[in-house]
C-alpha cells in the first residue's frame, strides 16, 4: 500500500493526520458549506450585511418560499421526466449494442465500436444547430421527450463503451456452450448475458442519472418554458430573477443538487465503478 | 456429443444477422442524433443561415464558401475565445497533480475514511450550474469570502468576476473543483490496485516518499493517468455551463470560450447566425478531434495487443 499506512507512523504523525482530515475536508467543501448555511439564513441577516456571523435564526422559510412562490417543484418534476426515460433508454439500447460488439466478430465491428466511442467525446456545439433544427421539425421542441430522445442517443455512445467492455470480460465459454445446445442468439442475450449484467446496469444507471440531471447545455438549447425546463435551466433563469437574493439562490442550489447527491450516496460503489470506465479496475 | 456445432445454413445466417439486429436501434439513434448532425454542421458552416425556413418549408440559407472561416480569422471575439480555451486546457491539467495529492492523502485505512473519500468526491456529483452559483457567491463583491480575503491581504478587494484580466482564472478555479474530485477518485481506485509486492520490494531497496511515488507508483498508475488526462481535456473544452452561469461571457466578452461564443452566435441575442456558429463549432471539433484520435489510437493498440 502506498503511502505507508499511518498506523506505522509515529504517534505525533497519527495525531496530526486525525486533525488534518476534517480540516482539509472543511476547506475543500467550503463553497458548499457556505451555500448550505446561507440557504438557512433569514433574508434580514443578509440585508444587514450579516453574511458570516451568527444567524439570527434558522430560516426554513427560504425553502418554503422557493417551493410555494417559484416553479422549482415543477422544474424538479421536469428533470425527472427527462432523466428517467433517458436512463432506461440509454441502458437498454447499449445493452444490445454492447452485446453485439462484444460477442460477434463481424466485419466492421471495431469501426462501429470506435464510432460510438468517438461520438461520445465530440463537443456538444457541433451537434447543436442540426439537433435543435431536427427537434423543431419533429415538433418536439420544448417537450420532455424531445430532450430525452437526444440524451438517449448521445448517452448510448458512452454506455456502449462500458457495456461492451463489461461483456467482453464475461467468460465466453458460457455463450459457446449455449450455442452448442442450440440456444438461439436472442435467448442467449436474454437468459445468459442479461442476468450477469446487473452490476453494469446499476453503474450506468446512476451515472447517466447524474449526467442527465446535471445537464444544462441541452436543457437550454431544447427547452424554453416552465412546463418543460429541467431544474438546471430553471435554476439559471430563477437566478436571473433573484438578483443577489443569496438566501434564495442558495436554497435553490441545494434543492437542485440533492437528487444526484442522494443517488451517489445510495449507490456509491456502482457510481465509482462506472466513472473509472471500467478501465481502472 | 455427435451433433457438435450445427452449422446448418439457418444457424449460420442467424449468427451473421444477429449482431446487426442488436445494433440497429442504438445505431439508428446514434446516427440520427450524433453522426448526421456532425456532417450537417460541417456543411452548414459553409452557409449563411438565420435558422429559418420559408413558407414552403425550404431551407433559406445561402452558400458562402469559406467566408465564415475567413471572418473568424479577423474576429477579435473568436481570438479571445481561442486564447481562453487554451488557458482552460493548460490550467485544467492542474487537476492531475492536485487530484493525485489528495488521493495519496486519503489512501489510508483509518475509521471513517470511506465517508471522507465520498465527501471529497462531492463536488463532482453536483451540477455545474450549482457549482457556478456557489463560486459566484464565494467571489461576490463586498461580502464574498474571496473578496474579503483579498481585501484583508492587499487592502483592496478584488471582484474577480468583474475584472476582464482575471475573470477566466476565476471560472477555471470553479471548474477545477469538481474536476480535481474526479481525478482524485480515478487515482484512489488506481492506488488500490498497485501491486503490494512491488512496493515492498522497492521499500527494501530504500525507496520512499517522492522517489517511490515517481519511480514505482506513477508507472503503475498509467491507466488511471490516461483516463484522467482524457476526461480533463474534455472537461476543459466543454466549459460551457460555468461561463454561462457565472458571467455570460463578460465582462466585455473577456471570459468567452469557443463553446459559449458558438452558442451566443447561433442562439444568443446577437441574432441567429447558424452558419457562423457552425464554423466556430467546427474549429472546436477539430481541436477535440486531436485528442479523440489519440484516445482511439491507444484503444486500438490495446485491442490488437489482446
Q: B262 and A239 in contact by Cβ < 8 A?
A: no
Contacts of B45 (CB under 8 A, 6+ apart): B68, B69, B275, B278, B279, B281, B282
Place of cell 460503489: A269
Q: B263 and A28 in contact by Cβ < 8 A?
A: no
pLDDT over 60 (residue A91): yes
**pLDDT value for B129:** 93
**pLDDT value for A127:** 95
**pLDDT value for B2:** 42
pLDDT over 60 (residue A87): yes
Q: B16 and A106 in contact by Cβ < 8 A?
A: yes
Q: B177 and A31 in contact by Cβ < 8 A?
A: yes
Q: A249 and B137 in contact by Cβ < 8 A?
A: yes
**pLDDT value for B197:** 86
- Using a CB-CB distance cutoff of 8 angstroms, which residues of chain B are in contact with residue A20? 105
- Using a CB-CB distance cutoff of 8 angstroms, which residues of chain A are in contact with residue B230? 121
Give B152-203 as a DSSP string.
Answer: HHHSS---GGG-TTTHHHHHHHHHHHHHHHHHHHHHHHHHHTS-HHHHHHHH
**pLDDT value for B1:** 39
CA distances from B174 to A254, B139, B233, B239 (A): 17, 10, 16, 11
**pLDDT value for B7:** 53
Give the distance from residue A32's alpha carbon to the nearest chain B alpha carbon, in angstroms. Answer: 7
- Tell which CATH classification among 3.30.830.10, 2.60.40.3080, 1.10.3720.10, 1.10.1530.10 matches the domain B76-305: 1.10.3720.10
Helix (H) or strand (E) segment spanning residue B63: strand B62-63
Closest CA to A233 of B127, B273, B123: B127
**pLDDT value for A115:** 92
Q: To the nearest 10°, the Cα dihedral for B271, B274, B278, B279?
A: -70
The answer to whether residues A222 and A146 touch, using CB atoms and an 8 Å cutoff, is yes
pLDDT digits (tens, 9 = 90+) for A226-236: 999 999 999 99
For chain B, list residues with pLDDT below 70.
1-12, 306
Q: B126 and A133 in contact by Cβ < 8 A?
A: no
pLDDT over 60 (residue A132): yes
Q: B128 and A32 in contact by Cβ < 8 A?
A: no
Which residues partner with B53 through β-bridges?
Answer: B59
- Using a CB-CB distance cutoff of 8 angstroms, which residues of chain A are in contact with residue B291? 121
* Assigned CATH topology for domain A71-275: MetI-like fold (1.10.3720)
**How far, in whole angstroms, is CA B304 from its chain's centroid?**
27
Q: Where are the domains of chain B?
A: 76-305
Give the distance from residue B101's alpha carbon to the nearest chain A alpha carbon, in angstroms. Answer: 11
pLDDT digits (tens, 9 = 90+) for A37-71: 888 888 887 777 777 777 777 888 889 998 998 89
Average model confidence (pLDDT) across chain A: 89
Spatial separation of the C-alpha atoms in residues B213 and A194, rounded to whole Å: 41
**CB nearest to A153's CB, from B30, B110, B278:** B30
Spatial separation of the C-alpha atoms in residues A116 and B304, rounded to whole Å: 18
The answer to whether residues A200 and A163 touch, using CB atoms and an 8 Å cutoff, is yes
The answer to whether residues B179 and B239 touch, using CB atoms and an 8 Å cutoff, is no
Spatial separation of the C-alpha atoms in residues B297 and B295, rounded to whole Å: 5
Kindly state the average pLDDT of the residues A112-136. Answer: 92
Spatial separation of the C-alpha atoms in residues B56 and B35, rounded to whole Å: 27
Query: Mutate which of B6, B8, B127, B256 to test chain A, going by most A C-beta atoms within 10 A?
Result: B127
**pLDDT value for A194:** 93
Contacts of B282 (CB under 8 A, 6+ apart): A126, B41, B42, B45
- Using a CB-CB distance cutoff of 8 angstroms, which residues of chain A are in contact with residue B16? 106
**pLDDT value for B11:** 63
pLDDT digits (tens, 9 = 90+) for A15-39: 999 999 999 999 999 889 888 888 8
Give the distance from residue A68's alpha carbon to the nearest chain B alpha carbon, in angstroms. Answer: 21
Contacts of B113 (CB under 8 A, 6+ apart): A21, B106
Kindly state the average pLDDT of the residues A257-275. Answer: 84
Crossing angle for the helix pair A231-241 and B128-139, to the nearest 10 degrees: 30
Q: Where are the domains of chain A?
A: 6-65, 71-275
**pLDDT value for A281:** 41
Q: A160 and B4 in contact by Cβ < 8 A?
A: no
Closest CA to A61 of A206, A246, A248, A193: A248
Amino acid at each position: 500500500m502506498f503511502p505507508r499506512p499511518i498506523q506505522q507512523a509515529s504517534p505525533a504523525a497519527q495525531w496530526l493526520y486525525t486533525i488534518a482530515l476534517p480540516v482539509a475536508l472543511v476547506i475543500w467543501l467550503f463553497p458548499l458549506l457556505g451555500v448550505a448555511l446561507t440557504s438557512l439564513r433569514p433574508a434580514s441577516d443578509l440585508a444587514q450585511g450579516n453574511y458570516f456571523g451568527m444567524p439570527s435564526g434558522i430560516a426554513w422559510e427560504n425553502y418554503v418560499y422557493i417551493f410555494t412562490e417559484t416553479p422549482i417543484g415543477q422544474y424538479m418534476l421536469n428533470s425527472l421526466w427527462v432523466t428517467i426515460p433517458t436512463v432506461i433508454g440509454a441502458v437498454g439500447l447499449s445493452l444490445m449494442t454492447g452485446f453485439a460488439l462484444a460477442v460477434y466478430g463481424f466485419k466492421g465491428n471495431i469501426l462501429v465500436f470506435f464510432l460510438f466511442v468517438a461520438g461520445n467525446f465530440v463537443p456538444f456545439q457541433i451537434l447543436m444547430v442540426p439537433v435543435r433544427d431536427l427537434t423543431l421539425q419533429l415538433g418536439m421542441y420544448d417537450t420532455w421527450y424531445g430532450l430525452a430522445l437526444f440524451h438517449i442517443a448521445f448517452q448510448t455512445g458512452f454506455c456502449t463503451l462500458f457495456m461492451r467492455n463489461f461483456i467482453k470480460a464475461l467468460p465466453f465459454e458460457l455463450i459457446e456452450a449455449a450455442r452448442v445446445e442450440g440456444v438461439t442468439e436472442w435467448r442467449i442475450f436474454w437468459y445468459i448475458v442479461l442476468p450477469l449484467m446487473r452490476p453494469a446496469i446499476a453503474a450506468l444507471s446512476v451515472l447517466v442519472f447524474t449526467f442527465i440531471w446535471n445537464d444544462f447545455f441541452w436543457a437550454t438549447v431544447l427547452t424554453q418554458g416552465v412546463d418543460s425546463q429541467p431544474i438546471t435551466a430553471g435554476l439559471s433563469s430563477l437566478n436571473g430573477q433573484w438578483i443577489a437574493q443569496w438566501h434564495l439562490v442558495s436554497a435553490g442550489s441545494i434543492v437542485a443538487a440533492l437528487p444526484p447527491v442522494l443517488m451517489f450516496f445510495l449507490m456509491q460503489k456502482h457510481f465509482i465503478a462506472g466513472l473509472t470506465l471500467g478501465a481502472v479496475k | 456429443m455427435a451433433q457438435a456445432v450445427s452449422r446448418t445454413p439457418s444457424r449460420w445466417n442467424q449468427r451473421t444477422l444477429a449482431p446487426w439486429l442488436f445494433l440497429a436501434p442504438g445505431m439508428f439513434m446514434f446516427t440520427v442524433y450524433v453522426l448526421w448532425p456532425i456532417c450537417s454542421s460541417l456543411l452548414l458552416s459553409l452557409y449563411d443561415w438565420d435558422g429559418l425556413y420559408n413558407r414552403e418549408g425550404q431551407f433559406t440559407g445561402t452558400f458562402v464558401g469559406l467566408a465564415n472561416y475567413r471572418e473568424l480569422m479577423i474576429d477579435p471575439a473568436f481570438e479571445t475565445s481561442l486564447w481562453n480555451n487554451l488557458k482552460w486546457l493548460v490550467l485544467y491539467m492542474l487537476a492531475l497533480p492536485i487530484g493525485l495529492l489528495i488521493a495519496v492523502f486519503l489512501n489510508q485505512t483509518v475509521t471513517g475514511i470511506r465517508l471522507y473519500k465520498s465527501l471529497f468526491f462531492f463536488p463532482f456529483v453536483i451540477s455545474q450550474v450549482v457549482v457556478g452559483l456557489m463560486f459566484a457567491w464565494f467571489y461576490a463583491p463586498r461580502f464574498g469570502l474571496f473578496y474579503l480575503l483579498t481585501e484583508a491581504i492587499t487592502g483592496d478587494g478584488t471582484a474577480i468576476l468583474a475584472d476582464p484580466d482575471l475573470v477566466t482564472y476565476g471560472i477555471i478555479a470553479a471548474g477545477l473543483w469538481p474536476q480535481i474530485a474526479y481525478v482524485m477518485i480515478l487515482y484512489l481506485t488506481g492506488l488500490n490496485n498497485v501491486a503490494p509486492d512491488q512496493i515492498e520490494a522497492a521499500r527494501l531497496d530504500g525507496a520512499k516518499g517522492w522517489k517511490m511515488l515517481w519511480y514505482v507508483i506513477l508507472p503503475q498508475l498509467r491507466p488511471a493517468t490516461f483516463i484522467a488526462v482524457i476526461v480533463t481535456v474534455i472537461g476543459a473544452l466543454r466549459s460551457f455551463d460555468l461561463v454561462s452561469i457565472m458571467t455570460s461571457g463578460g465582462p466585455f466578452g473577456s471570459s468567452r470560450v469557443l463553446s459559449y461564443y458558438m452558442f451566443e452566435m447561433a442562439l444568443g441575442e446577437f441574432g441567429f447566425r447558424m452558419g457562423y456558429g457552425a464554423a466556430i463549432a467546427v474549429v472546436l471539433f477539430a481541436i477535440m478531434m486531436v485528442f479523440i484520435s489519440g484516445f482511439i489510437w491507444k484503444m486500438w493498440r490495446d485491442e490488437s495487443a489482446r
